[in-house]
Amino acid sequence: MKNQKQREFQMSVEIKNLTFEAVSQAVAEILKISETTLPKDTADAIGRAASKESDPAAKSQLEMILKNIEIAGKRGVPICQDTGIFIFFIEIGRSLRLDFDLEGAIRNGCADATEKIPLRPNVVDPLTRLNTKNNLGNGLPEINYSFVSGKNLKITVAPKGAGSENMSALKMFTPTEIPKIKEFIVKTVLDAGGKPCPPVILGIGIGGSFNQSAKLSKEALLEELRDPDVKTGPNAYEDFEKEILNAVNDLGIGCMGLGGDTTALSVRIKKASCHTASLPVAVNIQCWANRHAAAEYNGGGN
């Protein structure tokens, strides 16, 4: 068990044994961490936005957000009452042997965390709207699997609230419309206005298939946020991220849509190859509560 200070920085826990119980417990633990503390890169980005904000109303809103983050962390209560639906990204080492129901362990951890933290039961039937009361449902939590080399298991959770998710968009461009991509992204933020709880983070997925681009946009939100004032190197995608960020912040939507300098804290792009005739672009909007945490099992032999 790591101490609180380390946790806040690393936002990760260690899975000691590869058993149903240990994985379930680790899942409940990373849900608690992600719901009650923000990753350092995000808290820092909000801090930078607050310190350079020229609009006094926006500045006071950003300061309230910082105070809220502090209180939530201190008391171990959710940062936001929309504790989201749970999106999992699982990396499985190819040489790892799993002889228990991994998905069952994850679901068990979700139900446990919902009851004990507690979290808001958000999962309902899409048409009858009947609430399952434990945050489990058909296809939820969402679990994405990928294989990596080695013997490790990594479980990342990103709870996602509806305010920002509802404002996300996907467009199938034609190959000659590359110059239109930026406009589409900025228009998505313009239409969203104050609704997704700005300052937002934009996850952009470019390429792949229809659904791949959406998945890429969500994965992009797990990337470390860039400080727009620090350039890490010559990179066409980094330049494009910055160009989009500047265009979005020029809109002046500001914190909560009440006007201000910072509408977005960061833009991250992930790409995949695509069909020669298509160009999918997905924009996944993330509110300032950019929550995620990870648990890892080290199987050795990497």
Partner 1 sequence: MSETHYLKTPLSKADIMKITAGDIVYISGTIYTARDEAHLRILEYDDENKPLPFDLTGAAVYHCGPVMKRENGEWKAVASGPTTSDRMTKMTPEVLKNHDIRVLIGKGGMEGLAETMALRNCIYLSYTGGCAALAVDMIQSVGGAAWEDLGMPEAVWELQVENFGPLITGIDTKGNDLFKAVKEKSRESFQKQFE
Residue 296: strand pairing partners: 14, 154
CB 257 within 8 A of CB 193: yes
DSSP secondary structure of 223-290: SPPP-TT---S--HHHHHHHHHHHHHHTT---GGGS--S-SEEEEEEEEE---TT-EEEEEEEE-S--
> Using the rule CB under 8 A, which residue among 12, 24, 122, 284 binds partner 1?
122
Beta bridge pairs of residue 280: 172
253 makes contact with partner 1 (CB under 8 A): yes
In angstroms, rounded to a whole number, what is the distance separating the alpha carbons of residues 78 and 74?
A: 11
Cβ atoms of 173 and 281 within 8 Å: the answer is yes
**Of positions 288, 292, 294, 295, contacts partner 1 by CB under 8 A:** 288
* Span of 10-18, 61-69, 86-94, 203-211 interacting with partner 1 by CB under 8 A: 61-69
Q: How far is the CB of 117 from partner 1 (least distance, A)?
A: 8
Q: Which is nearer to partner 1, 135 or 152 (CB)?
A: 135
The single residue among 2, 16, 67, 231 that binds partner 1, judged by CB under 8 A, is 67
Q: Note whether 17 and 98 are within 8 A (CB).
A: no
Please state whether 233 falls in left (phi above 0), alpha (psi between -120 and 50) or beta.
left
Element (H, E) at 155: strand 153-160
> Residues 40, 48, 171, 195: which binds partner 1 (CB under 8 A)?
195
Kindly determine how many residues on this chain lie close enough to bind partner 1 according to the rule CB under 8 A: 53
Q: Does 193 bind partner 1 (CB under 8 A)?
A: yes
Distance of CA 42 to the CA centre of its chain: 11
Residue numbers 263-282 binding partner 1 by CB under 8 A: none
Tell me whether residue 199 or residue 207 sits nearer to partner 1 (CB atom): 199
Q: Is residue 287 a contact residue for partner 1 (CB under 8 A)? A: yes
What is the per-residue binding string for partner 1 in 205-244, x denoting contact by CB under 8 A?
Answer: ----------------------------------------
Residues 143-182 that bind partner 1 (CB under 8 A): 162-163, 166
Q: Which of 10, 68, 134, 298 binds partner 1 (CB under 8 A)?
A: 68
Interface with partner 1 includes 186 (CB under 8 A)? yes
Judged by beta carbon, residue 98 or residue 258, the one nearer partner 1 is 258
Nearer to partner 1 by Cβ, of 167 and 282: the residue is 167
Site residues, partner 1 (CB under 8 A): 57, 60-61, 64-65, 67-68, 71-72, 75, 77-83, 118-122, 124, 129-131, 133, 162-163, 166, 183, 186-187, 190, 193-197, 247, 250-259, 287-289
